[in-house]
A and B are shown apart, each in its own frame.
Chain A
């Protein structure tokens, strides 16, 4: 704490200059003479740090933000974060105040005993208490699984690089299977049952709850209570391979009646117009391509082929908002692109490309047929 130390600070400012254009717009000039420029850069440093931060704050809103909580668990996490953040600000201010006082008034009255007491209290007792309180608050957020209030259980399996989803409830004879999109009834508690088959993934819907790892060989559970209607985004929050960054999903929280309608629709077999065998038209041709190329070896389409269970269930593929686990909106073009060369869109995707095995016209016919699977 021996006064101003221009060295490190000016270095930080240099980095900011190199990174952001804001500084230049705010009056910074291209660095010509490092020694001369140091003082000016020193003054600019706080602005250079604050401007990008302001940009970050503006992006805290949106469908994937832990700072805009939309379910009880997320509210608790956000509240804990706010306590922690403001507490940290207060502690930081106190430490800075102490540092300034130490500089302005080097000789402290009261001698070394008072200094010892300050160090023991401020350096040992206070941090211990703060960390213990934070630990207690964090542990309190862990759910008590003694009596789960949830009737609806959503089983989510992490896969490289997509999500296997099944809905289980006492009144459902068999779980309703789907993939890459999660629908929930607003206001009702939901229990996520999380697992993985290949590698460790992590299930995170920042707007609804904290993240939870999906670990091969074990089942983790996550409770979400009182979700508010809206459309949110979930992601894989644990690096799981080359396609990790493109492993997302949409979460739709419906009013309860419309959730029931959605669940009933999802439980039905594929749309009859997509299953029809003849007359020989585009739909029948798409169906033939799907079967002829063995797509059913991996993708179930209930009512047509249920042999394979390796890739995402496509029974109601076109009812989803996105393709390839949150990769792109579903359209004839994006579906045909995906069929042609999945690895070009998502590195490491397990699906083989069909660009060399089907003509462009066939790819489009198959894409059109997949769009019938509503």
Chain B
């Protein structure tokens, strides 16, 4: 009992001394922060366990959409090629050099993907990992894009170089379905998703998928969209990565190039395979809107006939159904995931559009033949 207080006082002195020492080490810059030496085994275990537990915890309850949806993995692969492969490498081009000197080194994904569930992969791609160099998805609210990457990642372990190129480039390197790929860098980046003719992956206008057709759009609409993406006003991780750093003249040139491509007269969706009542509902909404729900008439701005409509408004006739549905989901989300000079018009026009009606109007426009140029 007599020695107790003395021991506590001694302990306090030791702790205070250690605290002073820690401050001195910290302030004097004695602690190493370099990446060359790697982590100690203990630090690696602590960091890695914290990361694994955090990802598993935060991925709980995540609803996984259908990852086998047509075209989804294709979009993920095309983005992976420019957004992820520079650090992680790909089956076609293993990484090395500078990227592998990061701390921690970006893992070889083919070996690691099977260790994670789709929900956990979604969490990692969407949120990134602190202090590892793994960035967060460049746009908030674009879960749909993150799922495209996850859909691709799930396929990655089975892909060889050729399979990877087919998915990310649409064919052996340097070609897209036999077409020569352009050599100029920004356009070559666009082509992986949109095709050289702007019709979509492999320049097939009728293949379903989440990537929009550009061949149906007027130049002004393409340029406005590109500038919104580049200015980070319109949220999209894929397009932000693609358009970032390009100057206004380059963006305008890309828009002009796709707008000059021949327009495929085929609609993205064959109406013969679609429920007639769904199309009728979609047509009604396109022409009249849903006055009882404050939904404006789509045709007033996006007329399929192209008359009375300025070129800044994107044309919808012939556009891919799942792209239209995904965009409507973004505009009707709360809060809306949208931006750009005319976003407010669409937010007001579509905010009370029910999901079933969004599906109907998307199917209607997808089944319309685009107007000739």
Question: Which single member of B291, B299, B301, B344 contacts A310 (CB below 8 Å)?
Answer: B291
The answer to whether A292 and B308 touch across the interface, beta carbons within 8 angstroms, is yes
B289 contact set on A, CB distance < 8 A? 297-298, 307-310
When distances are taken between beta carbons in the complex, the residues of chain B under 8 Å from A29 are: none
| Chain A 344-361 interface 0/1 with B at a Cβ cutoff of 8 Å (1 = within) | 000000111100110000
Question: Known interface pairs A294-B313, A297-B289. Does A308 touch B294 (Cβ–Cβ under 8 Å)?
Answer: no
* A308-B296 contact, Cβ under 8 Å, with A292-B310, A297-B301: yes
Known: A297-B297, A352-B348. 17 other contacts (CB 8 A): A291-B308, A292-B308, A294-B296, A295-B300, A296-B300, A297-B296, A297-B299, A297-B349, A307-B289, A307-B297, A308-B289, A308-B296, A309-B289, A309-B291, A310-B295, A350-B348, A352-B345
- Complex: how many Å from CA A309 to CA B349? 12
Task: State whether A350 touches B294 (Cβ < 8 A).
Answer: yes
B341 within 8 A of A: yes
* A-B residue pairs, 6 tightest by C-beta: A297-B300, A294-B301, A297-B296, A309-B291, A307-B297, A352-B344
How distant is A293 from chain B, measured CB to nearest CB, in Å? 8
Rounded to whole Å, the gap between the CB of B346 and the closest CB of chain A is 9
Q: Mark A306-330, 1 if CB is under 8 A from B, else 0.
A: 0111100000000000000000000
| A307-B308 contact given A297-B289, A352-B345, A353-B344, CB 8 Å threshold | no
Listed by A's residue number, 25 A-B pairs whose Cβ atoms lie within 8 Å are A197-B294, A198-B294, A292-B308, A294-B309, A295-B300, A297-B296, A297-B297, A297-B298, A297-B301, A297-B349, A298-B296, A298-B297, A305-B300, A307-B287, A307-B299, A307-B300, A308-B288, A308-B296, A308-B300, A310-B289, A310-B294, A351-B348, A352-B348, A357-B341, A357-B345
Residues of B in contact, count (CB < 8 Å): 24
Residue of chain A at shortest CB distance from B299: A307
Closest to A308 in B: B297
Number of interface residues of A (CB under 8 A): 21
Give the shortest distance, in Å, between A289 (CB) and chain B (any CB): 10
Among A295, A296, A308, contact of B291 (Cβ-Cβ < 8 Å): A308
Question: What A residues does B348 contact at CB under 8 A?
Answer: 350-352
Interface contact tally, CB-CB below 8 A: 63
- In the complex, what's the smallest C-beta–C-beta distance from A73 to chain B, in angstroms? 30
Q: Residues of B with Cβ closer than 8 Å to A?
A: 287-289, 291-292, 294-301, 308-310, 313, 341-342, 344-345, 347-349
| Interchain CB contact (< 8 A) of A307 among B288, B313, B342, B344 | B288
Residues of A close to B296: CB separation below 8 A: 294, 297-298, 308, 310
> Residue of B at shortest CB range from A294?
B301
- Chain A residues, CB < 8 A from B291: 308-310
Q: Which residues of B contact A309 (CB under 8 A)?
A: 288-289, 291
Q: Which residues of A contact B349 (CB under 8 A)?
A: 297-298
A198 to B295, CA, bound (A): 12
The distance from the CB of A315 to the nearest CB of chain B, in whole angstroms, is 16
CA distance A308 to B284 in the complex (A): 11
Q: Which residues in A have their C-beta under 8 angstroms from that of B344?
A: 352-353
Query: Chain B residues near A291 (CB, 8 Å)?
Result: 308
Report Cα–Cα, A291/B347, bound state, in Å: 19
- Give the residues in chain B near A305, CB-CB below 8 Å: 300
Distance of A298 Cα from B301 Cα, bound (Å): 11
Q: Which residue of B lies closest to A352 (CB)?
A: B344
- With the chains together, A198 CA to B308 CA distance in Å? 31
Docked pose: A297 CA to B290 CA in angstroms: 11
Question: In whole angstroms, what is the CA distance A197 to B294 when docked?
Answer: 9
| Chain B residue with the shortest CB-CB distance to A197 | B292
Q: Please, what's the 1-or-0 string for A277-313, where 1 marks a CB less than 8 Å from any CB in chain B?
A: 0000000000000011111111000000101111000
- Interface centre among A292, A307, A357, by most B CB within 10 Å? A307
**What residues of B have a CB within 8 angstroms of the CB of A356 in the complex?**
341
CB A272 to nearest CB in B, in angstroms, measures 19
| Distance in Å: Cβ of B73 to nearest Cβ of chain A | 36
Smallest beta-carbon distance A267→chain B, Å: 20
Chain B residues contacting A298 (CB-CB under 8 Å) are: 289, 296-297, 300, 349
Per the bound structure, the CA–CA distance linking A295 and B300 in Å amounts to 8
Out of A295, A297, A357, which one reaches B342, CB within 8 Å?
Answer: A357
Instruction: Report B-chain residues with C-beta under 8 Å of the C-beta of A198.
Output: 294
Cα–Cα distance between A298 and B288 once the two chains are bound (Å): 9
Expressed in whole angstroms, the minimum distance between the Cβ of B66 and any Cβ of chain A is: 33
Q: In whole angstroms, what is the CA distance A293 to B309 when docked? A: 8
Give CA–CA (A128, B301) in the complex, Å. Answer: 64
* Distance in angstroms between the alpha carbons of A297 and B353 in the assembled complex: 14
- A292: chain B residues at CB < 8 Å are 308-310
Residues in chain B near residue A351, CB distance under 8 A: 348
Q: Which residue of B lies closest to A309 (CB)?
A: B291
The answer to whether residues A296 and B310 also contact, given A308-B291, A309-B291, A357-B342 and a CB cut-off of 8 A, is no
CA distance A308 to B313 in the complex (A): 17
Chain A stretch 10-47: residues in CB contact (< 8 A) with chain B:
none
Residues of B within 8 A of A294 (CB): 296, 300-301, 309, 313, 345
Provide the residues of chain A in CB contact with B309, threshold 8 Å: 292, 294
Task: Write out the residue numbers on chain B whose beta carbons fall within 8 Å of the beta carbon of A310.
Answer: 289, 291, 294-296
| Residue with the highest number of chain B CB atoms closer than 10 Å, among A296, A350, A356 | A296
